[in-house]
């Protein structure tokens, strides 16, 4: 009788964790890039870190990370925070400092869908929710038509536009500089600020072969995750003006986000910012290999990929209604973990713990599943 090991799997359909993999099965975990584990080199950097009390700004390793991040962002100041969710919240609260103010956000963005509406719940910030296009953008005309100023006291005043780059739900597609420049100009013309949820903005920089500062030139703030593709165990970095970050420091304290001897964690971030482009480029190549391999299996009646949308480390596949869950569950039995985002969408995420041989193995097992279903 087989022994079973329970592994967490997030099902977007029923919001439950349920996954069983035979203990003897080789596992290739393609659920998320949050699953990355620190490399041996990163662990050594963490072990050797100098630490102090970061709440008193006496941790030199944290200070160095924040200086480097600010430089990469092209912004005045940066701040190390425990999570990307907190990072986004701090930026939104710092921009919309008065309760009852409003932001414009896409209906398919992570901040709106997957962070419990924290800016509404905790800060009293309203949301003007507009449709995201398939490439992750929001139509400029739609943004313009939904900006509300203080001249009408019946309405909330718009203070902020929030975008996501890369856009996870739209396949990890980087927003174009042309679009970002147009949104930035629109924001300036209307006295608004622009926040970028840049959980995977480092992926955008690698994919488009340009500095982060060029991507963020129109942004007034950004939140970048260190614990996704960059491979750190914990943490995000936010950036903005010195005034904005000073507000964020104060709010971070009220949310319990101040960490004392955080240098061990910041050392991982420093290592990732200096070396992460190497493995992120590899992740993108492996994602492309997986996507092309799925198409070459030629079971297009069961699963297919739009290769034009595979730009970074995310591979979203389309299936007939209901088949995404069946394929997901059959793959689990063979040790391949993925996430069904809907009854027609199955996601695979490449990260530095997944190599070329893992991609080939996953394709072999997917081929077996599709043959069984045919």
| pLDDT tens per residue across span 257-311 | 999 999 999 999 999 999 999 999 999 999 999 999 999 999 999 999 999 999 9
pLDDT tens for each residue of 181-192: 999 999 999 999
Greater pLDDT, 220 or 1: 220
- Contacts of residue 247, defined as CB under 8 A and 6 or more positions apart, other chains included, come to 93, 94, 97
pLDDT for position 90 = 99
Task: Give me the helices (H) in the chain, please.
Answer: 40-47, 60-73, 84-95, 110-113, 118-123, 140-145, 177-189, 201-208, 212-215, 242-254, 263-297, 323-333, 356-373
81's enclosing H/E stretch is strand 77-81
Could you tell me the pLDDT band of residue 150, with boundaries at 50, 70 and 90? confident
Average pLDDT over residues 113-117: 95
Q: What is the mean pLDDT of the chain?
A: 94
pLDDT tens for each residue of 21-68: 555 679 999 999 999 999 999 999 999 999 999 999 999 999 999 999
Asked if pLDDT for residue 7 goes beyond 80, the answer is no
CA-closest candidate to residue 70, choices 241, 248, 264, 257: 241
- What CA–CA distance (Å, rounded) separates 310 from 299? 19
> Whole-model pTM?
0.93
pLDDT for position 4 = 30
CATH of segment(s) 40-274: 3.40.640.10
Fold category of 12-37+275-373 in CATH: 3.90.1150
- Contacts of residue 186, defined as CB under 8 A and 6 or more positions apart, other chains included, come to 140, 143, 144, 161, 192
- Please count the residues of the chain: 374
What ranges do the domains of the chain cover?
Answer: 12-37+275-373, 40-274
Asked if pLDDT for residue 225 goes beyond 70, the answer is yes
Q: What percent of the chain is modeled with pLDDT above 90?
A: 90
Mapped onto helix, strand or coil, the DSSP state of residue 135 is: coil
CA-closest candidate to residue 242, choices 98, 91, 78: 78
Could you tell me the pLDDT band of residue 12, with boundaries at 50, 70 and 90? very low
- Helix 201-208 and helix 263-297, axial crossing angle in degrees, nearest 10: 60
Average pLDDT over residues 165-177: 97
CA-closest candidate to residue 255, choices 123, 69, 104, 125: 123
| Structure tokens belonging to residue 193 | 């600020």
Asked if pLDDT for residue 220 goes beyond 80, the answer is yes
Residue 317 near residue 302, CB atoms below 8 Å: no
* Positive/negative CA dihedral, 111, 115, 117, 118: negative
First to last CA, the chain: 28
Average pLDDT over residues 201-226: 99
pLDDT tens for each residue of 327-374: 999 999 999 999 999 999 999 999 999 999 999 999 999 999 999 999
pLDDT for position 24 = 62
């Amino acid at each position: 009788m087989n022994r079973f090991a329970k592994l967490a799997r997030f099902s977007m359909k029923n919001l439950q964790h349920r996954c069983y993999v035979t203990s003897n099965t080789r596992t290739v975990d393609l659920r998320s890039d949050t699953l990355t584990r620190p490399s041996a080199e990163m662990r050594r950097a963490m072990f050797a870190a100098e630490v102090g009390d970061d709440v008193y700004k006496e941790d030199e390793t944290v200070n160095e990370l924040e200086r480097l991040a600010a430089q990469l962002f092209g912004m005045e100041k940066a701040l190390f925070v425990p999570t990307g969710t907190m990072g986004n919240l701090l930026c939104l609260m710092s921009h919309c400092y008065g309760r009852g103010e409003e932001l414009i956000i896409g209906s398919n963005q992570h901040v709106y869908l997957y962070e419990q509406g924290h800016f509404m719940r905790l800060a009293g910030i309203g949301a003007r929710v507009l449709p995201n296009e398939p490439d992750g953008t929001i139509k400029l005309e739609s943004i313009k038509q939904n900006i509300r100023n203080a001249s009408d006291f019946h309405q909330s005043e718009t203070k902020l536009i929030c975008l996501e780059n890369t856009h996870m739900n739209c396949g990890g597609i980087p927003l174009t500089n042309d679009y970002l420049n147009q949104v930035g100009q629109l924001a300036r013309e209307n006295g608004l600020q622009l926040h970028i949820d840049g959980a995977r903005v480092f992926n955008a920089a690698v994919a488009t072969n340009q500095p982060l500062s060029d991507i963020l030139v129109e942004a007034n703030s950004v939140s970048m995750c260190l614990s996704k593709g960059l491979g750190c165990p914990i943490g995000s970095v936010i950036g903005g003006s010195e005034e904005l970050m000073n507000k964020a420091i104060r709010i971070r304290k009220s949310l319990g986000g101040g960490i004392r001897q955080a240098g061990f964690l910041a050392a991982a971030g420093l290592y990732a910012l200096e070396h992460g482009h190497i493995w992120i480029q590899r992740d993108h190549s492996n994602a492309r290999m997986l996507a092309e391999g799925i198409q070459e299996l030629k079971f297009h009646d069961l699963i297919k990929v739009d290769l034009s949308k595979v730009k970074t480390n995310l591979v979203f596949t389309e299936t007939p209604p209901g088949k995404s869950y069946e394929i997901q569950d059959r793959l689990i039995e063979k040790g391949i973990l993925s996430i069904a985002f809907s009854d027609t969408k199955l996601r695979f995420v490449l990260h530095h713990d997944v190599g070329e041989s893992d991609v080939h193995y996953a394709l072999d097992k997917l081929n077996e599943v599709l043959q069984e279903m045919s």
